[in-house]
Chains A and B, each alone.
Chain A
């Protein structure tokens, strides 16, 4: 078993234990007359998960990890940057708005993936953003976020 996998399983075990502790709160009061409540199923699932995770640790701890063939161009940092960038994008989207944030996000994303020529990079990010904004807002009537403050004023310039 790989070291990172061990840490992940240990973390998951701790979280499952905590959630199992939390699940006792979902029990129905005895006065209702029911012997089952909304706590039963989560408890079954979490106990099952705990058993499987612990057995994974017990049986897999000393087991030699499969030799992973390292892919060419593999980079954990690039992957971490993309994941963090995506989470930040999702978090600030409501404040900055789709029209301002998406070309930056797509541009950065394509750059990280290896698109280095400036013209295709800018063209791709602007073209994709504009076509998605038009399609979703005009054709499907989906109100993509416009953002707040100055961002909203800017986005409204393109909303007709």
Chain B
């Protein structure tokens, strides 16, 4: 089956279900609203909306979640630009130039943001489909050592790129890896760290853990210091928004570079959209003829991160679907959702569930196209949703956390686990430990363990034999390079300071 046939199948599968495009649009709208609310990140929004998909067919449920993901990335930029309060971490860079621009011309800034998000998303979607298809076919040849290398690469990326303190990120990651060892062993099925509990014997369920660590932790944080952002009423004229839309055409090269950067960074396991927007912004500054103007409201300063973070959101789906290794924390939640539905992400997806891959692709493409048509006139309605006070919104979120974690297996213990992970997430955040490595650790732990133990048996217990396999060797070298990058960066920084002081 060719790619074009696949696309037709995906489109056909969605059109055969009467409400599919409506459901995808609902996911997109919910994602935009959640994404625009400061404190609700993409993984948190996906985790909170997950229970609403329990009654849906698996493919459609995933399309809904993917549309939510696209929506959060779109929505995150709105509050960053208008109020300097990024809705999602990946939108933080939008405040650098988007906010100063919005002080004088809010419509222009929003027009640029929406257009670039859509362009980045649509172009990356096409790359996503080709990359997933060929990567999955290539990955059919992967054995245990390659999965071990891939898992390590994902963890090395999440603990080194864009983190403030690598030691804290590694501790968080090791905590996640440990939590994944609870329950049945991956090699011989031995019960581990169960301490007589029937619940723990099956291992810690991913979804309550993810809901707790992202959503409940945020609620506890709000409990410590409630924050209320006052959203001013912004009068946006639809006609003025098109100024920004038209302006994008003058920055084709920035868009192209940021789209490629975003997609590539997104494809790297464990990286995600946030890093891509920062790197794309840095590249835009570096290659600009007037770098000194950045930070004052130049369009390139908004175009680069917005294109890149949307491209990365499509990119992160590539390793998630083709290899079963999440591209970032939001796709880690989608991966967890796939497991609930009994779907197996990984190389066999092309052979066993081709329809699913194409459905997700069509849903992403549809979301990007609908977002650009839908968001321009709908901005004022989203602004109304942002005025819901925290003291009303937080009880709603906590109720979503409770019902969402209970509904997975109708087990009250899942609610307890969710709250326990909420406490863990709160404590980690309080002391500046990143939480994405914990989630990646929980999800990648079993993959790495299986890769290591099965690989050792295959290689006759010779660890060095892992490196004799070319793909594993490349992956491990990349992992070491990522892990060493903050140390090298620090050494170079110190050397530069010393040279400056001498001069």
Q: Do A and B come from the same complex? A: yes
Task: Answer yes or no: B406 CB below 8 A from chain A CBs.
Answer: yes
A99 CB-CB contact with B under 8 Å = no
Q: Is the CB of A41 within 8 A of B181?
A: yes
**Interface-central residue, A38, A106, A144, by most chain B CB under 10 Å:** A38
Q: Interface size of A by Cβ–Cβ distance < 8 Å?
A: 69
Interface pair B186/A115, CB less than 8 Å apart: no
- How many A-B Cβ pairs are below 8 Å? 180
B contacts with A: majority SS: helix
Chain A residues with CB under 8 A of B366: none
A140–B404 Cα gap in the complex (Å)?
11
Complex Cα distance A4/B426, Å? Answer: 14
> With A38-B188, A42-B178 given, is the CB distance from A5 to B431 under 8 Å?
yes
Known: A36-B457, A53-B171, A91-B416. A23 touches B223 (CB 8 A): no
Mask for B232-264, Cβ within 8 A of A = 1, else 0? 000000000000000000000000000000000
Would you call A142 and B392 a contact (CB within 8 A)? no
A42 and B167 contact, CB distance less than 8 A? no
In the complex, whether A14 has a CB less than 8 A from a CB of chain B is no
Q: A63-76 toward B: CB 8 Å interface, digit per residue (1/0)? A: 00010000111111
Bound together, the chains give a CA A136 to CA B78 distance in angstroms of 32
Whose C-beta in chain A lies nearest to the C-beta of B416? A90
How big is chain B's contact interface, by range?
Answer: 35 or more
Assess the B392–A115 pair: CB atoms within 8 A.
yes
Interface of A (DSSP majority class): helix
Q: Is the CB of A79 within 8 A of B224?
A: yes
A38 and B192 within 8 A (CB): yes
Q: Are B171 and A82 in contact (CB under 8 A)?
A: no
Q: Looking at the complex, which one of B222, B394, B412, B457 makes contact with A94 (CB distance below 8 Å)?
A: B412
Q: When the two chains form the complex, which single residue of B193, B219, B415, B445 contacts A93, counting CB atoms closer than 8 Å?
A: B415
A41:B452 contact, CB within 8 angstroms: yes
B389 to chain A, nearest CB (A): 8
Instruction: Please state if B399 and A128 are interface contacts (CB–CB under 8 Å).
Output: yes
The reply to whether the CB of B98 lies closer than 8 angstroms to some CB of chain A is no
A93: chain B residues within 8 A (beta carbon) = 412, 415
Does the CB pair A38–B422 fall under 8 Å? no
Contacting pair B188 A37 (CB below 8 A): yes
Instruction: Determine whether B231 belongs to the interface, using a CB cutoff of 8 Å to chain A.
Output: no
Inter-chain CA distance A104–B443, complex, in Å, is: 35
Q: Which residue of A lies closest to B177 (CB)?
A: A45
- Within the complex, the shortest CB–CB distance from A55 to chain B, in Å, comes to 7
User: What are 19 contact pairs spanning A and B, CB under 8 A?
Assistant: A4-B431, A8-B427, A41-B453, A72-B225, A75-B224, A78-B224, A83-B419, A83-B422, A83-B426, A90-B402, A109-B394, A109-B395, A110-B392, A113-B222, A113-B394, A124-B392, A132-B399, A139-B55, A140-B55
The 5 A-B pairs of least Cβ separation, nearest first, read A38-B185, A71-B225, A82-B223, A79-B224, A38-B190
Known: A38-B185, A41-B453, A89-B415; 6 extra A-B contacts, CB below 8 A, are: A38-B186, A42-B181, A109-B395, A113-B391, A136-B403, A136-B407
